[in-house]
């Protein structure tokens, strides 16, 4: 049984919380056609017959989603408008889309498990990604260096390889050997 959008929105609040500074949920599911937002823009004003009257600049309430996104559920995230000149003049926070249900091959009806996966991916990245500690990363780097050293030693000691042959016949010089030679003088 799938959950209703109201139930999913309650689960979003229960699991991911509210932004207490504006008392709004951090995530929500809404119907695109019912969403409007205020934007600071220039608009051309026409008569009902289509004659251009003037251009106006200011804050206007407009449909949030374009016609090709009509009549779909969308998962939105509450975000700061800081840095967005079109929105920051109107509000400090705005809900921005994360996922449009019914786009591409996705289901038109949101289900909690899918919403939960989308939110977790948005918050933490790929849910299948293994998070490594600094010591894990350092150990992996040492292992890669050791493998490179072994491979290089094999290449140098192989008289049939290009580098091994060149070192044996004097057309290549080993830097370590050069350092030892310079230290000895």
Count of domains for the chain: 2
The confidence band for 159, taking pLDDT boundaries of 50, 70 and 90, is confident
Domain stop point among 73, 101, 124: 124
Q: Report, as an integer, the average pLDDT of 49-70.
A: 87
- Tens digits of per-residue pLDDT, 167-182? 777 777 666 654 444 4
Domain co-membership, 142 together with 120: no
The reply to whether 129 falls in a domain is: no
Residues 105 and 168 in one domain: no
- Does some domain include residue 64? yes
Cβ atoms of 65 and 74 closer than 8 Å: yes
- Which residue, of 77, 104, 124, is where some domain finishes? 124
Please indicate, yes or no, whether residues 141 and 164 belong to a single structural domain of this protein: yes
SS3 content of the chain, % helix, strand, coil (to 5): 40, 25, 35
Q: How many CB atoms lie within 10 A of CB 162?
A: 11
pTM strictly above 0.85: no
Residue 29 sits in the same domain as residue 80: yes
Query: Token match 């899918």: residue?
Result: 114
Same domain? For 61 and 94 the reply is yes
Residue 79 is assigned to a structural domain of this protein: yes
Claim to verify: residue 155 and residue 118 sit in the same structural domain = no
Of the pLDDT bands very low, low, confident and very high (cuts 50, 70, 90), residue 131 is low
Residue 158, domain extent:
134-184
φ and ψ at residue 120, rounded to 5 degrees: -60, -40
Alpha-carbon span 101 to 105, nearest angstrom: 9
Domain-terminating residue out of 98, 124, 150? 124
Given this model, what pLDDT does residue 180 score? 43
Question: Is residue 91 domain-shared with residue 178, that is, in the same domain?
Answer: no
* 81-119 tens-digit pLDDT: 888 776 777 778 889 999 998 876 666 889 999 899 889
First-to-last CA distance in the chain?
Answer: 83
> Is the Cα torsion angle 60, 66, 67, 73 positive or negative in sign?
negative
Beta-bridge partner residues of 56: 43
- In sequence order, the β-bridge partners of residue 75 are 29, 99
């Amino acid at each position: 049984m799938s959950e209703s959008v109201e139930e999913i929105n309650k689960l979003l609040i229960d699991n991911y919380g509210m932004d207490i500074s504006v008392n709004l949920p951090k995530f929500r599911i809404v119907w695109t056609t019912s969403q409007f937002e205020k934007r600071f823009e220039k608009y051309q004003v026409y008569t009902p017959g289509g004659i251009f009257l003037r251009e106006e600049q200011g804050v206007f309430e407009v449909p949030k989603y374009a016609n090709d996104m009509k009549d779909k559920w969308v998962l939105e995230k509450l975000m700061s408008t800081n840095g967005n000149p079109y929105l920051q003049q109107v509000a400090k926070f705005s809900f921005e889309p994360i996922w449009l249900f019914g786009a591409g091959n996705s289901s038109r009806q949101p289900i909690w498990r899918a919403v939960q996966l989308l939110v977790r991916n948005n918050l933490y990245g790929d849910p299948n990604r293994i998070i490594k500690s600094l010591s894990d990363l350092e150990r992996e780097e040492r292992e890669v260096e050791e493998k490179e050293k072994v491979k290089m030693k094999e290449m140098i000691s192989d008289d049939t390889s290009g580098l091994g042959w060149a070192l044996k016949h004097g057309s290549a010089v080993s830097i370590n050997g050069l350092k030892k030679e310079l230290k000895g003088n």
